[in-house]
Each structure stands twice: as C-alpha cells, then as structure tokens.
Amino acid sequence: MVYELPELPYPYGALEPYVDEETMHLHHGKHHGTYVANLNAALEQHPEIDRGNVDDLIAELDSVPEDIRTAVRNNGGGHANHSMFWQLLAPKSGVGGDEDFGEDLAEAITWGFGSLESLQERFTAAAAPGALFGSGWAWLIVNPDRSLSIETTANQDSPLMEGKTPVLGLDLWEHAYYLKYQHRRLEYINVFWDVVNWREVADRYEAG
Ligand code: MN
C-alpha cells in the first residue's frame, strides 16, 4: 500500500474570496502532493513498516528507522497536517458556522477562554509572525482533562508527535497564503476564521 493524496471535500474555488482557487490548486496538488510522494519514496526503503493511518505513523516516530526518520517526520507530518487542514475548512455559506459547534465544544471554549472571540484573539497572537518565526502551524489542542490549549509547531511537526490531540490547525507556511496575501500573514489568519468548519472541530473535540 502507498499513501494517497485525498480529494478536497469541496471544489477548489469554494473558499473564495478568503482562500483563492489558485492557491488551493497549488497547495493541495503540488505541496500536499509532494509530501505524499516523498513519504512514499522514503518508506520504499523499508517495506517492513506498517503503512496504516498516517496519524499513527507519525505518532510513533521513535519506531521509524533512523535513516528515514527525518523524511517521515517532515513528509508524514505534511501529509497528516494537510489531510486534517482540508477537513477543517468549509465554504462560509456551508455547514460549520460558529453557531454550529455544539454544546461540549462551546462549554470548553467558554471555560478556557471566556468566549470564542477571546480564543480567536489568543490563537491569532500565537500564529502572528512575531510569535511563530518562519514556517509552521498553530493548533488548538484538546487535553486529557478536556480543556483546550493553543500551541504552535515548527515545520510540518504535528502535536500527534508529542502524544497530543489537535482539533484545529492553521497552516502558517507562506505557500498557504503568499499568492493572495503576500507578506500579510495577519490578514490571512483573520480570514481563516471565516472558513473554519466548526462542526468538524466539534466532532474532533468530542472524539478526542
Ligand atoms: Mn501547506
């Protein structure tokens, strides 16, 4: 078995005008596609490795042979992160608006942050260029006690690599926004809130 690029759950232009169609084509087809190809190429050297769920693969990096561990970390992380990211976005007019996140998640947000607006402010601050230097991701994590916290990772590292459960993630690589927003990362972070699929976040919170 080899890993495959999953289809987007919506058309490439569905997130316009917040995320433009050309960026979605390049980001999904070229960037995500390359992570998948490079992951498969690395694993070819070790046919004995179980190619199950990519989330499980990157959660057990210590058991990956050392000669391909960095390649699996970067490209397996890239495959897992992007596969999740596409699911976390939705057209603004579709399901998953912020009225749609269910009681459990709503309670956890109120308990942890006071309000959704306050969560968004803190997430945005963590994701801003001054806080996360270079390429990486910002995450909302569900902790074992059901509380939520905000974290960032560098490169394509995933919270799964540290045994943590992400319920929301934002790609902060320039390839995710540069065509439309150039250096204006904060503008991209702000429009992200217009296309978050909160129903999906809630489902992940309830499952995590
Ligand atoms: Mn990306």
Calculate how far, in angstroms, residue 111's C-alpha sits from the geometric centre of ligand 1.
31
CA of 65 to the centre of ligand 1 (A): 26
pLDDT at residue 101 in the model:
75
Kindly give the distance from the C-alpha atom of residue 135 to the centroid of ligand 1, in angstroms, as a whole number: 9
What's the pLDDT score for residue 92?
Answer: 78
Å from CA of 6 to ligand 1 middle: 14
Q: Tell me the CA–centroid distance for residue 188 and ligand 1, in Å.
A: 13
Torsion of CA 30, 175, 97, 80, to 10 degrees: 60
Q: What's the pLDDT at 98?
A: 60
CA pseudo-torsion sign 99, 103, 104, 108: positive
* Residues 104, 38: Cα–Cα separation, whole Å: 38
44 by Cβ neighbours in 10 Å (0-12 / 13-18 / 19+) ranks as: exposed
Query: From ligand 1's centre to the CA of 31, what distance in Å?
Result: 6
Cα 16 to middle of ligand 1, angstroms:
17
Q: Measuring CA to CA, which residue among 94, 108, 80, 79 is closest to residue 196?
A: 94
Mean pLDDT by 10-residue block, N- to C-terminus, for the chain (208 residues)? Answer: 94 96 98 98 94 95 96 98 97 67 90 95 94 94 97 98 97 97 95 93 92
What would the 3-class secondary structure string for the chain be?
CCCCCCCCCCCCCCCCCCCCHHHHHHHHHHHHHHHHHHHHHHHHCCCCCCCCCHHHHHHCHHHCCHHHHHHHHHHHHHHHHHHHHHHHECCCCCCCCCCCCHHHHHHHHHHHHCCHHHHHHHHHHHHCCCCCCCCEEEEEEECCCCCEEEEEEECCCCHHHHCCEEEEEEECCHHHCHHHHCCCHHHHHHHHCCCECHHHHHHHHHHC
Q: How far, in Å, is the centroid of ligand 1 from the Cα of 107?
A: 30
pLDDT of amino acid 94? 60
- Predicted local confidence at residue 97, as pLDDT: 63
- How many angstroms separate the alpha carbon of residue 162 from the centre of ligand 1? 20
Q: How many angstroms does the Cα of residue 120 sit away from the middle of ligand 1? A: 21
Going from the Cα of 169 to the center of ligand 1, the distance in angstroms, rounded, reads 11
Distance CA 100, CA 63 (A): 39
Q: Token match 């309830």: residue?
A: 206
User: Which bin fits 132, alpha (ψ -120 to 50), beta or left (φ > 0)?
Assistant: beta
